Amino acid sequence: MNTTEDSDVVIVGAGPVGLMLANILGMYGRSVTVLEALDDLIDYPRGVGLDDESFRTIQTVGLVDAVRPHTNPQHVMRLVNGAGKVILVNNPQTDEFGWERKHGFIQPEVDRALYQGLSRWDTVRVLFGHRVEEVVEDATSVTAMARVAGADGEVSERRFRAQYLVGCEGGKSPTRKRLGVKFEGESPSTRWLVVDVNNDPLGTPNVFLGADPKRPYVSIGLPHAVRRWEFMLHDDESEDQVTDPAFVNSLLAEHVPDPSTLEYIRRRVFTHHGRVASHFREGRQLIAGDAAHLMPVWMGQGWNSGMRDATNLGWKLATVLSGQADDALLDTFTDERKEHAKAMVDLSLTFGRFIKITNPVAAAARDAASTALNLFPQVKSYFADMRFKPMPRYTRGVLADPTTRTAGRAAATLTSRLIPVRTANNKVSPVGVQFPQPRVTTTDRSDILLDDAIGNWWSVIVWGNDPTRMLPTKSLDTLATLGARLVAVVPETQRDWAQQYMDAGVLVLGDHTGRLKKWFDDRPTPIVFLRPDRFVAGACLAQDAPATLDAILEAMHFVGSPAETAVPQGDRTPAAQSA
């Protein structure tokens, strides 16, 4: 007789998204079962780009030290034409979220670091060789039936019941197909050959995108002396032909002095896809990562988009499971993530069309236009600093409009006619975007990243004042129920004074770099309600804080919870890693 094994969440798929989501839920004390059909993690290279937003999430779950050795920070990309002339450079220098904007990385090693990190949480387990073939959902739970092959070849079935199931099984997601969710978009017919080798025969550390009309290509230097090439294939070239060693060697003849001596990791043909699911939740089942969106490789955003999903969904599941919010909160996962995922897909498709032009006349026109535009410093820096990449901005979800304090929606601009707003240097609303992460100083630690100081849950950040003196008792009681940390940021020169003046329950941070002062100086929003995923839920003047908080709680379907069932704050935060 089959027994049913219980946990809070079942995650199907031990890829990077499933592993990160399990780490986040484990950090919040939730029980998780990860079911993976394969017998081990995938060990061949796939994604090659890791961005600053993803590194911030890695920091949150305390795995910076484990991941950092498998990365190549400040990964510069150069777009070159058929003659080898550089027509565009992408080398962003900003570190607003605490980390370099771009890293090359070895995905199998980073994925394994995420997997090994799960051993810290005794509420999380990963079961390999468990293929989910049927899922049954009722009003209170969802049960996954997994097929398991024993060492003797005998097949058995195990049943896993949870309150929610998240499908993270990749682009062919059985979860998405079972739910009947549409996967909208396109799959361009262009095929590419990817070639990975060990002992990089070139040794150059960065990325070259070859916009060569004869055969567009990519050459990428990666950590651990791995080199990747990708070559666009012509329609008359079969998969057997292009994976033949002699053919591959002929492609590499213009790149490597002696291709015959290369140590190949793999040679594989793939097709780009640009698709986004119509919605990411159906009842007690959700999809994330490639199961919810597939994008071409050009912007290096497939892995990172999956990390954004896990970052967004993890705290929401933890909140619902703790009893602090109605599960309507989970509907905001689609509201907040779908549009940005689609924007990244569209940008990747557009960039791919720009690179893979094969008509010589059109390619010459592209090269001439790029050369002319590079003469303008503003245009050149637009590409160099990666400002063409759409940063996530949530306009619907767990938000409060900074002007009207409407729950669940937030305009992108501040429109109040009050003088502090009319005279502000920056009228772009900070609500719905990520808060920066400069370094700060506390009584106990110097020069640490902001997130390591404030912890992994909700925070109320106030510039230059004691939040307990700016908020009424009712609001403070609600914030205590939510488990929010009260934070005061002051110039480093005032930190000792603030430590004595302010309430003992307020975390005082010294802004020794001046970067937070600059942020608050530019915006008429001295009070910021910061979500666990580091997005701003609300920002306002002091007198608007109670109404702003009420709107945020309405948007997140907050119901409160007894102290003993609230989401843990602080005690489960991984050790700070501010390398």
Quote the pLDDT of residue 369: 63
| Mean pLDDT, residues 112-132 taken together | 97
Q: Of 102, 47, 98, 42, give the one whose Cα is nearest residue 389.
A: 102
As a whole number of angstroms, the distance between CA 45 and CA 16 comes to: 13
More confident residue, 9 or 349: 9
pLDDT at 560 over 70: yes
Give the pLDDT mean for 281-298: 90
Q: What is the pLDDT of residues 240-272, one digit of tens each?
A: 899 899 999 999 999 999 998 999 999 999 887
The single-letter code of the amino acid at 306 is: G
Q: What is the pTM of this model?
A: 0.92
538-555 pLDDT, tens digit each? 999 999 999 999 999 999
Average pLDDT over residues 513-533: 96
Assess whether pLDDT exceeds 50 at residue 384. no
417: CB partners within 8 A, 6+ apart: none
**Cα dihedral across residues 366, 367, 373, 379: positive or negative:** positive
pLDDT score recorded for residue 579: 45
Report whether 423 contacts 499 (CB < 8 A): no
User: pLDDT tens digit string along 453-470?
Assistant: 999 999 999 999 999 998
* pLDDT tens sequence across 406-434: 999 999 998 888 888 888 888 889 999 99
The arithmetic mean of pLDDT across residues 73-79, rounded, is 88
Helix (H) or strand (E) holding 510: strand 507-511
3-class SS of residue 131: strand
Q: pLDDT grade, residue 480 (50/70/90)?
A: very high
Q: Which two tokens mark 91?
A: 């080398």
Q: What is residue 354's predicted lDDT score, i.e. its pLDDT?
A: 66
Average pLDDT of the segment spanning 111-120:
97
Given a cut of 70, is residue 572 above it in pLDDT? Answer: no
CB 126 within 8 A of CB 14: yes
Q: What confidence score (pLDDT) does residue 125 get?
A: 97
Which residues partner with 530 through β-bridges?
459, 536
Q: How confident is the model at residue 562 (pLDDT cuts 50, 70, 90)?
A: very low
> Which domains does the chain carry?
4-71+101-181+274-337 (3.50.50.60), 191-271 (3.30.70), 396-565 (3.40.30.10)
What is the chain's mean pLDDT, rounded?
A: 89
* Residue 1 reports pLDDT greater than 80: no
Asked if the model's pLDDT at residue 558 lies above 80, the reply is: yes
